[in-house]
Amino acid sequence: MLAAELFERTGFEVMFRALHVVVGIAWIGLLYYFNVVQVPAFAELEPAQRSAAIDKIANRALWWFRWAAAATVVMGVLILGIQDPFGAGSDKTGFSTDYWGTIRGTGILTGILLGFTMFLNVWLIIWPKQKIVIANARNVLAGGEADPNAAAAGRAALLASRTNTFFSFAMIWFMVSTSFVDGLGFGTNDGILGYWIVVLVLWAVLEAFGTGMIGGTAPSTLRWWEETHLRTIAAGVVLWIVFLILWLLLLNP
Ligand code: HEM
C-alpha cells in the first residue's frame, strides 16, 4: 500500500480496524482477567488485604477496562461510518440501511447487539456498582464503618461481568466472521424475520436474567449458568454454538 493510500477510504478503514482490535483486546482481556483471576483471588484474601487490593489493583484495572470499552465502541462506529460494505466502490457505508438486510449486515448487527449490550453493562452496571465497592474499601482502610450495601453492589457487578463473559465468544465470532461470510451460501430472504425474533428474545431473556434485572441478584439455581466462572465459560461456548445452529437453520435457504 502506498503511503498516500493510507489517507484514503480503505486506508482509514484498515487503521480503524486495527485500533478497534487493539482496544477490544484491552477491554476483553481485562474482562477475562476479572472473571478468571481477580474475583477468585480476591475471595481468598483477608478483608484488610482485599480492601487494599480493591484500592490499588481493581481501581486501576477498572479505569483501563471502562475506557477501553468506550474506545472499542467508538472505533467500531468509525469502521461502520467509513467502510464500503459492498466492496465494489459504491458510495455506501456501514450505516446504509441496504446493508443491514444482507447476510454480512446480519452478522455484524448480531455482533453489535451483543457488543453494545456488553458496553452498557460496563457503564450502567459494573462501573456504578464498583464505585460503591471501591468507596467502601477506601473508607474501611481509613478506619471507617463498612457500607452494608457494598456486598450487594459487588454481587451485581459480578453478575454483569459474568454476563459479558458469557456473551463474549459469540460477539467476537460475529466481529471476525462478518467479512468472510459472503459467498458461504447463507441467505436472508426467507429466514431473517424468524432469525431476529429468536435472537432478540434470547438476548433479552439472557441479559435480564444474567444481570439480575429479572429474578434479583441473589444466588439462584435459575441462573445456574452464571453461578461460577467455569460454568459461565462453558455456557458461553454453548451460546456461540446455538448461534451457529440458528444460522444453519434459519439463514441457510
Ligand atoms: C458496539 C460495539 C462494536 C461495534 C459497533 C463494532 C463494529 C465493528 C465493525 C463494523 C467491524 C467490521 C466488520 C466487517 O465488516 O468485517 C468490526 C470488526 C471487528 N470487531 Fe467490532 N464492534 C464492536 C465491538 C467489538 C468488541 C467488544 C470487540 C472485542 C474484541 C470487537 C472486535 C472486533 C474484531 C476482532 C473485528 C474484526 C476486525 C477485522 O477482521 O478486520 N468489536 N467491529
Residues 63-88: tens digit of each pLDDT: 999 999 999 999 999 999 999 988 87
Tell me the mean pLDDT in the region 168-191: 90
What spacing in Å lies between the alpha carbon of 71 and ligand 1's midpoint?
12
Higher pLDDT, 177 or 187: 177
pLDDT at res. 253: 65
Cα gap 178→114, rounded to integer Å: 14
Residues 91-130: tens digit of each pLDDT: 899 999 999 999 999 999 999 999 999 999 999 999 999 9
**Which of 9, 14, 20 has the most ligand 1 atoms within 8 A of CB, as the residue to mutate?**
20
SS in 3 state form for the chain? CCHHHHHCHHHHHHHHHHHHHHHHHHHHHHHHHHHHHHHHHHHCCCHHHHHHHHHHHHHHHHHHHHHHHHHHHHHHHHHHHHCCCCCCCCCCCCCCHHHHCCHHHHHHHHHHHHHHHHHHHHHHHHHHHHHHHHHHHHHHHCCCCCCCCHHHHHHHHHHHHHHHHHHHHHHHHHHHHHHHCCCCCCCCCCCHHHHHHHHHHHHHHHHHHHHCCCCCCCCCHHHHHHCCHHHHHHHHHHHHHHHHHHHHHHCCC
Confidence of residue 252 (pLDDT cuts 50, 70, 90): confident
Confidence of residue 188 (pLDDT cuts 50, 70, 90): confident
What spacing in Å lies between the alpha carbon of 178 and ligand 1's midpoint?
9
**94 CA closest ligand 1 atom index:** 10
pLDDT at res. 235: 98
Instruction: For residue 138, count other CB atoms closer than 10 A to its CB.
Output: 15
Confidence of residue 2 (pLDDT cuts 50, 70, 90): low
**Which of 175, 178, 184, 203 has the most ligand 1 atoms within 8 A of CB, as the residue to mutate?**
175
- Is residue 128 within 8 Å of residue 62, measured between CB atoms? no
pLDDT at res. 184: 85
Tell me the mean pLDDT in the region 179-203: 91
Place of cell 458461504: 184
Q: If you take atom 8 of ligand 1, which residue's CA is the nearest one?
A: 76
The residues, any chain, with a CB within 8 Å of residue 146's CB and separated by 6 or more, are 136, 139, 140
Nearest to 34 by CA among 23, 42, 46: 42
**Does 61 score more than 80 pLDDT?**
yes
- Is residue 82 within 8 Å of residue 9, measured between CB atoms? yes
Q: Name the average pLDDT for the chain.
A: 94
**Does 5 score more than 70 pLDDT?**
no
What spacing in Å lies between the alpha carbon of 85 and ligand 1's midpoint?
13
Q: If you take atom 7 of ligand 1, which residue's CA is the nearest one?
A: 76
Q: If you take atom 1 of ligand 1, which residue's CA is the nearest one?
A: 116
Q: If you take atom 6 of ligand 1, which residue's CA is the nearest one?
A: 76
Residues 127-172: tens digit of each pLDDT: 999 999 999 999 999 999 999 999 999 999 999 999 999 999 999 9
Residues with CB under 6 A from ligand 1: 17, 20-21, 24, 27-28, 72-73, 76-77, 79-80, 83, 94, 108, 112, 115-116, 119, 172, 175-176, 178-179
What spacing in Å lies between the alpha carbon of 176 and ligand 1's midpoint?
7
Tell me the mean pLDDT in the region 36-46: 97
Higher pLDDT, 179 or 154: 154
Place of cell 456488553: 118
pLDDT at res. 4: 59
Residues 194-247: tens digit of each pLDDT: 999 999 999 999 999 999 999 999 998 889 999 999 999 999 999 999 999 999
pLDDT at res. 3: 65
pLDDT at res. 10: 87
**Quick one: what percent of the chain has pLDDT higher than 70?**
97
